[in-house]
A and B are shown apart, each in its own frame.
Chain A
């Protein structure tokens, strides 16, 4: 049973544009929602994360929007740059229970064209 569904599978954006990746979850016990960025040959690296008690979190060009009632959250990358080209994974965990065990979405391959 896939608990975190991510879309789209791939995304092509022009430099300077906005990249939007969406995720939906099923388990209402999840209480921590991180996004990871992965470059080829590297492990995923934490990019930004949100807790369900806030609806939005912004760090530089990266913003998470969270809709608790719809059980959805999304990553917005403003002013996308070629260096942002990578695979992005959303995840969900039950915070401090289960040692922070995370369930990942299937990933979105982002290509930013110069």
Chain B
């Protein structure tokens, strides 16, 4: 199994630009989570999906952030417009319903907004 695949691994962009982060969950997993990791705030849950449906987006910091899951094998997290304070590592994780929250994380996208 290839695990959770995220792209790109690194993204450097300028303030105001649109950023799209991508995630392919483990085949067969039906829950998908987007986390953000910073030194100041640790691992924060942004949004999660169950069976492709957004369940809880209360962690999305503001309207500049949006996430979609058009099918079971793909999800995107979009930031538009990006700001320097969005600089962080963004992780995607997936789990199998019934696995009691056993999360499998991707390697993350290191985002730098200049």
* A98 in complex: contacting residue of B4, B56, B104, B105, CB < 8 Å: B56
A107 closest partner in B (C-beta)? B42
Count CB-based A-B contacts (< 8 Å): 74
Inter-subunit contact A100/B97 (CB<8 Å): yes
Instruction: Decide yes or no whether A75 CB sits under 8 A from chain B.
Output: no
A92 closest partner in B (C-beta)? B101
Q: Within 8 Å CB of B45, what residues of A?
A: 101-103
A94 closest partner in B (C-beta)? B101
What's the nearest-Cβ distance from chain B to residue A28, in Å? 16
Would you call the interface of chain B mostly helix, strand, loop, or mixed? strand
- Between A and B, 11 residue pairs with Cβ closer than 8 Å are A32-B101, A42-B107, A43-B4, A43-B91, A93-B100, A96-B98, A100-B95, A101-B56, A102-B45, A103-B45, A104-B43
Report the 6 A-B pairs with minimum CB-CB distance, sorted nearest first. A100-B101, A43-B105, A93-B101, A99-B31, A99-B50, A104-B43
| Chain A residues proximal to chain B, CB less than 8 Å | 31-32, 34, 36, 41-46, 49, 51, 89, 91, 93-96, 98-107
| Chain B residues proximal to chain A, CB less than 8 Å | 4, 31, 33, 42-43, 45, 48-50, 55-56, 91, 93, 95, 97-108
